[in-house]
Amino acid sequence: DVVMTQSPLSLPVTLGQPASISCRSSQSLVYSDGNTYLNWFQQRPGQSPRRLIYKVSNRDSGVPDRFSGSGSGTDFTLKISRVEAEDVGVYYCMQGMYWPSFGQGTRLEIK
């Protein structure tokens, strides 16, 4: 099974400051078609998860451009350029290479 490891697990951030979350997979997520399938989700308190980023770096419709994804192979990063109050929640990376699996989640809070 592919294990997804996120860090940090808790991320206190001052409003307006940047934030970065790392996600590492135990195996390469490069598929036979040459694409890398790695998604990022945001789960606000009391809500369902919402996809932010697909295929490593593609923002979903309606996602603010302060969110960006990057990485390759086994190492991936979600960055928020300037944190806003509405960004509070838990962020998860997800892979679907074999059996789908998620990272443990990173809880972002305002300092």
Q: Which of 77, 65, 105, 83 is nearest to 13 (CA)?
A: 83
User: 60-89 mask for other proteins (x: CB under 8 A)?
Assistant: x-----------------------------
- Among the listed residues 27, 31, 64, 73, the single contact to other proteins using CB under 8 A: 31
Q: Which of 51, 64, 79, 110 binds other proteins (CB under 8 A)?
A: 51
Q: Whose Cβ is closer to other proteins: residue 87's or residue 95's?
A: 95
Quote helix, strand, coil % in the chain, to nearest 5: 5, 50, 45
Which residues have a Cβ under 8 Å from the Cβ of 101 and sit 6 or more positions away? 1, 2, 3, 4, 94, 95
- Contact residues: other proteins, CB under 8 A: 31, 35, 37, 39, 41, 43, 48-51, 54-55, 60, 90, 92, 94-105
